[in-house]
């Protein structure tokens, strides 16, 4: 009887000793940037301890087994990121919420900010001599104004490869231009109009995803009067235009 009790106590003590030797991992991580917009690259830094392998769940259906992964969120929302850290003794999990904001689509005209609340779209119109001109348009609602403002971009005169860097230069044929702005636009009626000033500014277009583009522009506009009969534009002043846009371009 005493021997049986002694063996039992020995087994209990041995089990306790073995359990006390286990080292479970502690899962933890940081990420940057702290303020995230769709299509930003988010860098996750693993600060787990006593771990040998890692499993990430980014909360949007994507996963990774890298120690320090990067990830891009393609939609806005709040996502729960889970990291499971594992070693031979077991695993532990940590969860953190990430808030992803939608794009801050806007442009600045001489320091005044205009929110963009619609997609850009391809448009065709008649050019000089009856030629068809294809370009990208954006109509912006202006509070207190009867008609929208019209922004026109000519990254390539037609439906070609869109991504690229386009500079307003002197290689454009007479009667065409690479950027345009018309305030309180109502067809042939408007408050004032402008074109891209030759040699001043550029437009950078990057394809972020299938059909999703990032437009970045810094343009000096030549403000003046346009003679539709002769194609002559007479400058009376200039305006500064900057553009930030992430989204689609509605096809024709």
Q: Which of 19-28, 102-111, 234-243 has the lowest mean pLDDT?
A: 19-28
Question: For the residues 53-76, what does the mean pLDDT come to?
Answer: 98
Q: Collapsing DSSP states into helix, strand and coil, what is residue 14?
A: helix
Residues 6 or more apart whose CB falls under 8 angstroms from that of 137 comprise 120, 121, 122, 123, 150, 151, 152, 153
Instruction: Indicate the pLDDT class of residue 238, thresholds 50, 70 and 90.
Output: very high
Q: Give percent of the chain with pLDDT exceeding 90.
A: 70
Residues 6 or more apart whose CB falls under 8 angstroms from that of 149 comprise 114, 139, 140, 142, 181, 182, 183, 184, 185
Q: How far is CA 161 from the centre of its chain?
A: 19
Q: Which residue has the higher pLDDT, 126 or 10?
A: 126
Q: What is the pLDDT of residue 161?
A: 80
Judged against a pLDDT cut of 70, whether residue 6 lies above it is answered with no
Q: Look up the pTM and report it.
A: 0.81
**Mean pLDDT value across the chain:** 88
Judged against a pLDDT cut of 90, whether residue 170 lies above it is answered with no
Tokens of 153: 């971009």
Q: Are 150 and 138 in contact (CB under 8 A)?
A: yes
Extended beta strands in 58-191, E state: 63-64, 70-72, 77-87, 90-101, 106-109, 112-115, 120-126, 132-140, 149-153, 164-167, 179-183
Q: What is the pLDDT of residue 31?
A: 98
Q: How far is CA 173 from the centre of its chain?
A: 33
Q: Are 88 and 82 in contact (CB under 8 A)?
A: no
For 96-147, write each residue's pLDDT tens digit: 999 999 999 999 999 999 999 999 999 998 765 667 888 999 999 999 999 9
Q: What is the pLDDT of residue 9?
A: 44
Q: What is the pLDDT of residue 177?
A: 76
Count of C-beta atoms within a 10 Å radius of residue 236: 10
For 191-208, write each residue's pLDDT tens digit: 999 999 888 889 999 999
* CA dist list (Å): 126 to 43, 94, 165, 223, 225: 48, 60, 25, 22, 19
Residue ranges of domains in the chain, CATH in brackets: 22-101 (2.60.40.10), 106-250 (no CATH)
The phi and psi torsions of 221 (rounded to 5 degrees) equal -90, 140
For 65-90, write each residue's pLDDT tens digit: 999 999 999 999 999 999 999 999 99
Q: What is the pLDDT of residue 230?
A: 82
H or E element: which one contains 216? strand 212-227
């Amino acid at each position: 009887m005493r021997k049986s009790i002694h063996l039992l106590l020995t087994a209990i003590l041995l089990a306790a000793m073995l359990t006390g030797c286990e080292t479970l991992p502690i899962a933890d991580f940081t990420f940057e940037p702290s303020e995230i917009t769709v299509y930003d690259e988010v860098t996750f830094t693993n600060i787990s301890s006593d771990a040998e392998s890692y499993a990430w769940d980014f909360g949007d259906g994507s996963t990774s087994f890298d120690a320090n992964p990067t990830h891009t969120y393609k939609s806005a929302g709040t996502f729960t990121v889970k990291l499971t850290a594992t070693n031979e003794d077991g695993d532990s999990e940590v969860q953190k919420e990430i808030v992803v904001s939608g794009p801050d689509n806007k442009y600045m005209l001489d320091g005044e900010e205009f929110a963009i609340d619609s997609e850009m779209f391809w448009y065709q119109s008649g050019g000089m001599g009856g030629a068809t001109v294809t370009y990208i348009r954006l109509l912006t609602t202006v509070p207190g104004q009867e008609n929208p403002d019209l922004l026109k971009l000519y990254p390539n005169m037609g439906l070609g490869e869109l991504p690229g860097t386009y500079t307003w230069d002197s290689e454009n044929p007479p009667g065409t231009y690479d950027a345009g702005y018309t305030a309180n636009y109502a067809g042939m009626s408007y408050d004032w109009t402008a074109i891209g000033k030759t040699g001043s500014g550029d437009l950078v277009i990057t394809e972020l995803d299938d059909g999703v583009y990032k437009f970045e522009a810094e343009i000096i506009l030549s403000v003046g009067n346009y003679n539709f009969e002769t194609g002559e534009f007479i400058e009376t002043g200039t305006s500064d235009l900057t553009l930030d846009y992430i989204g689609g371009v509605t096809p024709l």
